[in-house]
Amino acid sequence: MKKTQAVMADGREIVYYDTRDDAVRTAVDPRDLAPVVSGSEMRYDRLLDEWVVVASHRQTRTHLPAADACPLCPSTPERATEVAEADYEVVVFENRFPSMSGSSTSGRAGQDPSTPVAGGAAAGRPEPGWDHDPFPSRPSGGRCEVMCFTPEHDASFKDLTPERVRLVLDAWTDRTAELSALPGVEQVYCFENRGREIGVTLPHSHGQIYAYPFVTPRTATMIASTAAHRHRTGRNLFEDVLAAERADGSRIVAEGEHWTAFVPAAARWPYEVHLYPNRRVPDLLALEEAARAEFGPMYLDLLGRFDRLFDGEPAPYIAAWQQAPVRSGRVDFALHLELFSIRRAPGKLKYLAGSESGMGVFISDVPPETAAARLREVGE
């Protein structure tokens, strides 16, 4: 993999990833752009022990542009886009409308600016306490990046070759390493949203990478659960879950030498698959070469199954890499990919209604065993 770094017209970083060592990336962004000003902040919810990001500037972000106005396509002599080159394989750049940005070490008065921001009961709380400030807030910090998987405007991730998927995987790994090294970053999250039903505002195939200045609530909960399991049994919870799913077999979707895909027993979404490396590692950086080589064909197979579920109706989905935080909870955490769709049947979506949105209690429309059987059935 060859990595070429450059700077966009407004000072944002852009990074090209190529399979060929002789690839040359020298195009200069010709646009006249003002520097990005985000103004996002984090506000702390004392009742839930969580941080909420407020990013009002995102109201003006680009929304479902026409194909000839897509900002993620390569530039042409007639139109400059976010990508100055006339072609690319995989490219990553700082988001022009970031949810989080800026220095994550610029705390409020009275706070130690070198103290990492935390979220979730297992990861700490802001100081000082209630009497000094009942409504803690601070500049958001962190970083948000966009990753384009292909220059083809109408392509989907499932249309990539295994070789291109390997390049994407290597780029995810590199970005995890680079962002983890930034001051104040506590967790790196690589993900893809596909489909208008999910809320995608740019149809060109792309993903995003968030570098959070705190440990996310979902990850903090998993870390607490693994710690409790370790205390009770002396074993690793992720390893026990994977072993139990493989032994049961009823929710297994696909198995390889290095990866296992299964529908979790308590799946929240109508169609939800977790893809685990058979050898537990904390993050993408720790994946061994054999697992990297097998990932592309395995993941493309899963995406193909999702698209065959609904009579040719493309499945809207979220693909989310769960990685260990940068500094905490790493010993027992297990890297895995969670892939899920909000479509429950042809023409029908799973909405987050009163129980899910109001109380955080999911009610599943499709039994996990039925979902797994259906996903096995549509395999090629």
Residues 37 and 97 in one domain: yes
Confidence of residue 41 (pLDDT cuts 50, 70, 90): very high
Domain region containing 298: 218-377
Residues 296 and 354 in one domain: yes
Residues 193 and 325 in one domain: no
Which residue, 182, 215, 248, sits at the end of a domain?
Answer: 215
Instruction: State the pLDDT at residue 131.
Output: 80
> How does the average pLDDT of the chain come out, rounded?
92
Q: What is the CATH number of the domain that holds 71?
A: 3.30.428.10
Residue 269 has pLDDT above 90, yes or no: yes
Task: Report the DSSP pairing between strands 13-18 and 50-54.
Answer: unpaired
Instruction: Note if 229 is an active site residue.
Output: no
- The count of structural domains within the chain is 2
- Please tell me which residue in 204, 206, 229, 274 is annotated as part of the active site: 206
Residues 137 and 250 in one domain: no
Centre a 10 Å sphere on the Cβ of residue 160 and count the other Cβ atoms it contains: 22
Q: What is the pLDDT of residues 325-373, one digit of tens each?
A: 999 999 999 999 999 999 999 999 999 999 999 999 999 999 999 999 9
Of all residues in the chain, the percent with pLDDT exceeding 70 is 94
Residues 207 and 233 in one domain: no
Instruction: State the pLDDT at residue 148.
Output: 98
Confidence of residue 133 (pLDDT cuts 50, 70, 90): confident
Q: What is the pLDDT of residues 185-196, one digit of tens each?
A: 999 999 999 999
Instruction: State the pLDDT at residue 57.
Output: 82
